[in-house]
Structure 1
Amino acid sequence: MSRYLVDKFLFTVDRDPALVERYREDPVGTVAWWEAEEANRLLSCIADERSTWLAFDDAERAALAGHDYRALFALGAHPFLTLTLFIAMFERDHDEPLGFQREYAQRLADFSLPYPDIAT
């Protein structure tokens, strides 16, 4: 598992409103596109700098493509990155204040300490 790459996906998608919408509407296509085009782009100011070896494993790809934040949490994705992206995507689907945050907490309620390691 590359927690770095999953966290990088969550971070970069969350910072681009168009990508947030793309990921909401077409998660499979967005994950495939991002892995092919963006995964190896370095987080620097130099657009042409790239690595060549980063890729999601099958569990990561499935969790991201399925909007499965519970699986992402279990895999060690950073919970703040996961929560902020999924709030941007799904808070609008809830009528009550903090509706998605409550759903998120409820779906993760059976996790006990120690939580999955989020160190990268």
Structure 2
Amino acid sequence: MSRYLLDKFLYTVDRDPSLVERYREDPAGTVAWWEETQANRILNCCAGESSTWLAFDDVERDALASHDYVKLFELGAHPFLTLTLFIGMFERDHGPLEFQKEYARRLAHFSLPYPDIST
């Protein structure tokens, strides 16, 4: 499991409006494409620089492909990254603050200490 890779996915997708829409419409396809083409790119670095070993495990891949932000939180994905991305994808389907309230309600069963979100 790689919290770094989960957070990297959430971070990079959230910063590109076309990827947000792609992830909303085709989550499994977007996750597969991103893992194959973007996962091993080094953030904020020169073109051509990359690593070779980063990949999601099946649990991470399934959580991303099903938009399961509760599972992502359990896996240690940073809650601010999940919240901002999922607001961008789903707030339009709800009234003001309804999605944020649903997010909080679905995560309400967690108590301190929360899952570790350090990378």
Q: TM-score, normalised by structure 2?
A: 0.98
Matches of residues 98-109 of structure 1 in structure 2 within 5 Å? 98-109=97-108
Give the aligned residue type for 1:17.
Answer: P
Q: Distance between the aligned counterparts of 1:73 and 1:40, measured in 2?
A: 22
Does residue 1:43 correspond to 2:43, yes or no? yes
Does residue 1:112 correspond to 2:111, yes or no? yes
How much does 1:47 deviate? 1.4
**Any stretches of 5+ residues in structure 1 without a counterpart?**
none
Equivalent residues, number: 119
Q: Which residue of 1 aligns with 2:7?
A: 7
Q: Distance between the aligned counterparts of 1:48 and 1:27, measured in 2?
A: 26
Matches of residues 87-106 of structure 1 in structure 2 within 5 Å? 87-95=87-95, 97-106=96-105
Q: TM-score, normalised by structure 1?
A: 0.98
Q: Distance between the aligned counterparts of 1:75 and 1:68, measured in 2?
A: 11
Q: Which residue of 2 aligns with 1:77?
A: 77
Give the aligned residue type for 1:51.
Answer: S
How much does 1:45 deviate? 3.2
Identity of aligned residues (%): 79
